[in-house]
Amino acid sequence: MKRSQIILLGIFLFISGAMYIPILMNAKEYEKQIKKENKTVNVPTAIVINELHKIPMSSYGQVAPNTELLVSFEVQGKLQQGDQRLKPGVSFRSGSILYRIDGQEAAYSLFARRMSLASIITQALPDLALDMPEEKDKWDQFLVGLTSLRSDIPAFPKLNTRKEKQFWTVRNVLTEYFNIIAQDNRLKKYEYIAPFSGTVTEVYSEPGSIVNPGVQIAKIARTGEFELKVPVSLEDLKMYKEQKTARFKDPNGKLIATGSIIRVSDVINQRTQSADVYYSVKPEEGERVYNGLYLNVEIDFISNEKTVALPRRAVKDRKVLVLKGDKLTYVDVKQVSRKPDTVYVTGIQDGQRVVTEQVGAPNKDMIYKPVESEEKK
């Protein structure tokens, strides 16, 4: 190659380099700018304001009778109908006879024993008239009541002297009398008298069947007095106890009744880790509460420490993301309370920007820019 050609080639390469080097440098700067823009992430945030909150809390419960009894007898025999035929849903009044046991045989046995005692006294009256004539009249009157089929067992005559007491004791009169009283009391157990006004909830035996002592015949519940059993998680139990009162609404949000805490169970449900709280039930005017009805339970708990309300999705593993400058950092928080879509926490300072969405783990190479969240804090 000639020297002149080499010189021309060098001049061409120099001119070409001078033209393309600035273009390449501008391309690198543009690439850096694009990469920088690609590392910028917009995150939804809200400025923290700690304040006292009136926190609505909700649960559910089932209405149950305040008093519920199983009907059974202490005696054996054929079951008979009481004042009315009982079926589930039938109402009854206090003092009415719910069921009877056929006690005719027991009644005859009792009257025969009364006659036996009367015979003993009648045979002893001549001796009583000789030894203590002033006491004879009261024993004559006692015999009249004792032998009357339609009258109750008369009260035992008062024994005025030690001699009189010994007179009747050796004839076994006192023992027989108290045996008769015991048998008469047992005869009263052949009827089951309603201890309150209520409703029959279940029936297990029908009239005509033979029942044994302790066998369940029916289940009855007092009407007009109900309670609401509410399962409450252990973390919320303290707040329910402090509030004491609650509102009860139907699934449509209509207020049905109000009530206050009657008692709190000391037994924890191992499956749900909740405790049962029992409320009294006072229906609103014009409303009626039924046994077995499910109601939503609401209370308004006023926190005694300042908290910030955050969306549930903003808290994960008791931590939130806070924007400091253009970087994200984790901050530990303590949950004070919650409702379905909101948690109330402490541990974040006023004025800090908290991220209201889950945006993944912080990346030190990323630049984060705040976007004001529409969530109200």
CATH number of 67-96+194-222: 2.40.50.100
Residue 313 phi, psi (nearest 5): -70, -15
Q: HEC states along 252-274?
A: CCCEEEEEEEEEEEEEEECCCCE
Q: Which two tokens stand for residue 29?
A: 């700067």
**pLDDT attached to residue 357:** 86
What was the pLDDT predicted at 338?
73
Nearest in space to 339 (alpha carbons), one of 316, 312, 357: 312
Q: Would you call 350 helix, strand, or coil by DSSP?
A: coil
Give strand pairing partners of 81. 99
Residue 278 half-sphere exposure, CB side, CA atoms within 13 Å? 12
List the chain domain ranges. 41-51+305-372, 57-64+225-302, 67-96+194-222, 105-186
pLDDT tens track, the chain, 377 positions: 556 656 655 565 556 555 655 555 554 554 445 444 457 888 888 888 888 877 777 888 999 888 889 999 999 999 999 999 999 989 999 999 999 999 889 989 999 999 999 999 999 999 888 888 898 899 999 999 998 877 889 999 998 899 989 999 999 999 999 999 999 999 999 999 999 999 999 999 999 999 999 999 999 998 888 999 999 888 788 888 888 899 999 988 899 999 999 999 888 888 888 899 999 999 998 888 888 899 999 888 777 788 888 888 888 888 888 888 888 889 999 887 777 788 888 889 888 989 888 888 888 878 888 887 655 44
pLDDT of 370:
85
3-state secondary structure (DSSP) of residue 344: strand
Q: Is 41-51+305-372 a domain of CATH 2.40.420.20?
A: yes
The pLDDT of residue 299 is: 87
Q: What's residue 30's pLDDT? A: 44
User: What is 57-64+225-302's CATH number, 2.40.30.170, 3.40.50.970, 3.90.1560.10, 3.30.465.10?
Assistant: 2.40.30.170
> What pLDDT, on a 0 to 100 scale, did the predictor assign at position 186?
92
**Which residue's structure tokens are 């519940």?**
221
φ/ψ region of 63 (left if φ > 0, alpha if ψ in -120 to 50, else beta) reads beta
pLDDT of residue 179: 94
pLDDT at 377: 47
- What is the DSSP secondary-structure string of 168-194? HHTTTHHHHHHHHHHHHHHHGGGEEE-
